[in-house]
Structure 1
C-alpha cells in the first residue's frame, strides 16, 4: 500500500513493515512475520521491482514480529540486516526478559494472535548475521536512513529517520493501536522491557522535520512530532484500561 511517493506499507494496523523506494534501490524497515514475505513479493510486483533491488534491511529492534522474513532475504540474496547493537543477540534468538503484565481485552488479544498465526508467527527464523548500528549512524542505503537510539522497549531499540520520505519509523517505542486492548492513538506499547526508559526516549523525536511517525503496530501518525509527543503524554496520564 502506498502511504506517500516512495513510501510503501506491508501488513496492517496490527503488524506492519515498510519499504523506502529509491531510484538506486529499496530499503526495508522491519520485516514483520514470515508470512509477510508473500505480501512483500506482491507489493514489489506492483512496483515492477525485483527482490534484488532491496539493498538493506533496518530493524527497529529484535523482537520476533519485526525480524520475520529478514533471515530469508539475508540468506538467499545476501541482503545486509542492520540493528541497534544491544539488540543483536535478541535478533539472533536470545530470549528477551519477562515484562510486566499489560492490560488486555479478550477480543483484541484474540484478533492480534489470530493474525500473527496466519502470518506464521511461530515460524520466525532468528538471524544468523547482523550488522550492529549505533546512535547517529547514517546507513549506506536508499533513502540515507539515520539511526536514533531509543532504548526502552528493548535495549537496542532505534528510530529510523528518513528525511527522503519525511518519515521516522519508531518500531515499538510507542504504538498507535495497542494490540492487547485495541485502544487507538499514540500511547506506550505493550511487552516493553523498561517503560520509564521508553518514555524518556520519546523526547528524542522532538524537533524532527517529518510528516509521518510510523510505528510497527497501529496506524501511521500523520503530523509533526510535537503533536505526537503531546498525545503520547496525555495517554500516559490516563488510568490503564481494564
Structure 2
C-alpha cells in the first residue's frame, strides 16, 4: 500500500493555485480522497495517468467533508464511473446527498447579511457555487474509529472546519490524510482557513488530535505533503 499526492494546478482570480487530493493504492486498486472543484474530473484523471495508474482501477472515493473544492467533481466521477464506492462520514453524507441543507451554505447565507459592500459580489458568487453542487448518494457511511480499506485505514473524526469532517490515519505507513483538519503552512501544521471554520475550538482540538497520532507524514489538501 502507498499514498500518492496529486498536485492539481488551477487559476483563481488571476492567481495560480494548487490543491492536493490523495490517491491510495492498495492491492492494485485505487482510492481517491476528495475530488476538487466542479470540472476538475479531467485534471485529476490526467494526474492519475501521469503517475502511471489506470483510472479503471478506481474503486473508492473518500470525501473528507462537504465543501465545493472537495466534492465539486464527485457527481461527474460517479456518473462516468458508476461502480465507484463513495465513502463519507455519517454527518457529511446528509449534506452531500441533499437530505439536509449543508452547514456551509447556511453559513455563507448568514455571512452575506453582514458583508461589506465590496465583498457582496463574492459572497453571492460563493452561495451560487454551493447551490450548483449536484447531490450524490453515499454508499458507505463511516464513524470515528472505523477501520476501512482492508483494515489498513482508520477513520478519525476531526470536526471544526465542518461538523462531520474526517481525516484518515494509516498506522502501517505512519501517515495521515488531513483533508482540511490541517494545512501545510510554512512547513508546519495549522488550521485551514480559520475564518470559515464552523467551530474554531473543535478545529483546534482536531488539529491537536492528528498531531498526536504516531505519524511522520501528513498529506494536506492545501499546502501539500509535510514530512516531519
Paired residues of 2:6 and 2:48 also in contact (CA < 8 A): no
Q: Which residue number corresponds to residue 132 of structure 1?
A: 141
Superposed CA offset, 1:183-203 (max 9, x none): 885322221100011101222
1:213 shift after superposition: 1.1
1:151 shift after superposition: 1.1
Residue 59, structure 1, aligned to residue 63, structure 2: yes
Unpaired runs of 5+ in structure 2?
10-16, 112-118
Aligned with 1:81: secondary structure?
strand
Structure (1/2) with the larger strand percentage: 2
Query: Aligned pairs, how many?
Result: 199
Q: TM-score, normalised by structure 2?
A: 0.73
Match 1:84 to one of 89, 95, 102: 89
When structure 1 is superposed on structure 2, of 195-204 and 157-166 the one drifting more is 157-166
Paired residues of 1:176 and 1:219 also in contact (CA < 8 A): yes
Aligned with 2:146: secondary structure?
coil
Paired residues of 1:20 and 1:165 also in contact (CA < 8 A): no
Q: Which residue number corresponds to residue 198 of structure 2?
A: 193
Aligned with 1:43: secondary structure?
helix
Q: 1:128 to 1:6 in 2, by over 3 A?
A: closer
Q: Which residue number corresponds to residue 50 of structure 1?
A: 54
Supply the distance in 2 between the matched residues of 1:217 and 1:125 (Cα, whole angstroms). Answer: 23
Q: Which residue number corresponds to residue 73 of structure 1?
A: 77
Paired residues of 1:34 and 1:121 also in contact (CA < 8 A): no
Q: TM-score, normalised by structure 1?
A: 0.70
Superposed CA offset, 1:69-90 (max 9, x none): 2222223322111111111122
Unpaired runs of 5+ in structure 1?
102-108, 178-182, 224-242
Aligned with 2:23: secondary structure?
strand
Residues 195-210 of structure 1: matches in 2 within 5 Å? 195-210=200-215
Supply the distance in 2 between the matched residues of 1:171 and 1:125 (Cα, whole angstroms). Answer: 21
Paired residues of 2:178 and 2:220 also in contact (CA < 8 A): yes
Paired residues of 2:96 and 2:136 also in contact (CA < 8 A): yes
Aligned with 1:98: secondary structure?
helix
Residue 40, structure 1, aligned to residue 44, structure 2: yes
Residue 155, structure 1, aligned to residue 158, structure 2: no
Paired residues of 2:66 and 2:102 also in contact (CA < 8 A): no
